[in-house]
Chains A and B, each alone.
Chain A
């Protein structure tokens, strides 16, 4: 492990690291655009210039390997001057339209100009004009004028997604990013290019212009899109969730996440959510508060168990809930109620072992492993044929369904609703409203549940790695967690005072609803 002195601070880094990695390890600021820890070294922005004792010329930190006893600084006047000019070279042809640029607020150029630039520009020539609003594919839009040609996106498609869609065309200051041979940027990792773009050149069609980033807060969470369990940051404001971005975790997802995982914010927003408990069946629904509705479920559950025994109750569970919820659920069902008919609803059993080679797995549930564990620890998994027999034979009177949180990954909802409607009554615990469920043919309860961002807990991913997460924000405060449902079903009450406040959802004019004492 070579020891190296950075700006007078000694730091020890692994053999083979570069000076820029040593800077990061030492917690020293260094200006850079093209270098990204997850990609190869391009060495083209020429901003990570450092002075190494014993070398006559300034060196770029990203391509210089650390040697024992190296003394490096980036605080000398020569380095500062070079970085200032490097910044100037980046900005001379960069349009000054930060106000309409979607990257403003999280832009590498803005941040690093303030930190390392702050010079008086002397550029008085007309700027180079390039293509604006170039459609690169179904997810990404390019603005060539804003591009600083750091080549991160090109390297990403070459090295990480290995789809090779992007390239730099033309030469000199006429260079532009483009798609090779007209083949659009269309892969399941395309939005990572937007994340790594240090400027506003690449923007996501899904997020573009919808919010200014300074209105957003972020919360750490785990992506519920598949069993990989990518670490993510969820960006939200008082109107709801707006986007999901990857969070670095070397053991799980590195720096990346897939595009389908980024859609997992959509079902959390209030527009798709079930806001109150619903009781009834096709055509006639009555609304009740979730807690009240659950209490009436408890009543029915007790009746059924008393009259026909616990075997008249069937429970269907999906792999979308946390380990803690499963523990509470199985404790209540198996130990308290002695229910034996518990079934695992796997959305796409034939695809569960699929893997796209990078991150996305065929098992589209975040916690299948956790559910399997809960089954193993408590009671054997029920057989779907038995359930069918029990339902058509009339043995099963009440079906409790802990249904999908993210309905888009469950194509067989309609089928399951029809199948379970054969019971006298069924109870669906689910986060979002579903048209299929509204068509249920038997007496049905729909109880709103919370989504992953609204609760604390842990998911066990495909490797068996348990990843905990905390409440990020609350969209539907009246919704319940599975643990709370168990409490209510057992006849206990909840502490309502501890409920967080609602985000409220999109309003015509946010200000008008908070007028106060005007």
Chain B
């Protein structure tokens, strides 16, 4: 038998609560109006919050020194991705020093949970979680990022160079 507890009679007097709430809001409005520097909120989008350098934002595919894509299409990120938002198609490279490279690399950013597992799985520092976080777009915007966007979007200014270099590793005998 389900029991319905009715609110006590005192609680049915809602008017004092509403008035108290309104008074609080009015007080804050006045104090913010005359004391704008102490205001805790930001005027987004004119003002933007600066996150720390380790913030996990939109993905970046790094490049080699010659500007080509660093990714080796090993698909460890795609395997590790809990949201299954990464889709890679590998192909044989024409460059004899490169065995395999991604002919397409797509991330469905709407599906991504920004966990950073892809970054952790990557053996060659080919994918990083960048500082960008404003993913919003208008209706019909493309939320499946391709290589062009992930590695060479204008914000990256020609691409971010990976810390792992095949030539150097080859010389070191690894």
Contacts and interface: CB of A to CB of B under 8 A. Distances in A.
A174 interface: no
Interface in A176-215: 208-210, 212, 214-215
B96 interface: yes
A125 interface: yes
B87 A510 contact: yes
Interface string B123-159: 1100000000000000000001000000000000000
A133 interface: yes
Most chain A CB neighbours (cut-off 10 Å) among B86, B99, B170, B172: B99
Interface string B54-81: 0000000000000000001111100100
Interface in A95-109: 96, 99-100
Given A100-B100, A127-B174, A511 B72 contact: no
A91 to B, nearest CB: 13
B174 A96 contact: yes
B90 A127 contact: no
Contact of B91 (A99, A132, A209): A209
Nearest to A514: B84
B92 A512 contact: no
Given A126-B172, A212-B75, A515 B111 contact: yes
A99 B76 contact: yes
A518 interface: yes
B111 A209 contact: no
A209 B87 contact: no
A214 B74 CA distance: 12
Interface in B101-116: 106, 108, 110-111
A126 B111 contact: no
Q: How large, as a class, is the contact surface on chain A? A: 20 to 34
A100 B72 contact: yes
Nearest to B104: A508
A210 B75 CA distance: 11
Contacts of A127: 173-174
Contacts of A511: 83-87, 108, 111
Given A100-B73, A100-B74, A509-B87, A212 B79 contact: yes
Contact of A133 (B76, B91, B96): B96
B173 to A, nearest CB: 2
B90 A209 contact: yes
Contacts of B73: 100, 209
B106 A509 contact: yes
A518 B75 CA distance: 25
Contacts of A96: 174
B99 A132 contact: yes
A512 B145 CA distance: 12
Contacts of B124: 99
Given A209-B91, A511-B84, A512-B144, A99 B72 contact: yes
A99 B99 contact: no
Interface residues of B, number: 28
A464 B116 CA distance: 58
Contact of A509 (B75, B99, B108): B108
Q: Is the interface of A mostly helix, strand, loop or mixed?
A: loop
Contacts of B111: 511-512, 515, 518
Nearest to B84: A511
A127 B174 CA distance: 6
Interface in A466-518: 508-512, 515, 518
A18 B133 CA distance: 64
B167 to A, nearest CB: 13
Nearest to A125: B173
B20 to A, nearest CB: 39
B130 to A, nearest CB: 21
Contact of B100 (A209, A215, A515): A209
Nearest to A209: B90
A215 B79 CA distance: 8
B110 A100 contact: no
Interface string A75-99: 0000000000000000000001001
Given A127-B173, A511-B83, A511-B85, A99 B123 contact: yes
Given A510-B87, A511-B83, A518 B110 contact: yes
Nearest to B72: A100
B74 A510 contact: no
Interface string A107-143: 0000000000000000001110100110000000001
A433 B86 CA distance: 33
A509 B85 CA distance: 8
A269 B70 CA distance: 32
A129 B76 CA distance: 26
A194 to B, nearest CB: 16
A208 B100 CA distance: 10
A177 B78 CA distance: 33
B70 to A, nearest CB: 12
A133 B99 contact: yes
B95 to A, nearest CB: 10
Contacts of A133: 96, 99
Interface in B26-58: none
Contacts of B83: 511
Nearest to B106: A509
Interface of B: 72-76, 79, 83-87, 90-92, 96, 99-100, 106, 108, 110-111, 123-124, 144, 170, 172-174
6 contacts: A99-B74, A100-B72, A509-B108, A511-B87, A511-B108, A515-B110
> Which 10 residue pairs of A and B lie closest in terms of their CB atoms, listed nearest first?
A126-B173, A99-B74, A209-B90, A509-B87, A100-B72, A511-B84, A99-B123, A212-B75, A511-B85, A100-B74
Given A129-B170, A132-B96, A515-B110, 12 more contacts: A99-B72, A99-B74, A99-B124, A100-B100, A127-B173, A133-B99, A209-B90, A212-B75, A508-B144, A511-B111, A512-B108, A518-B111
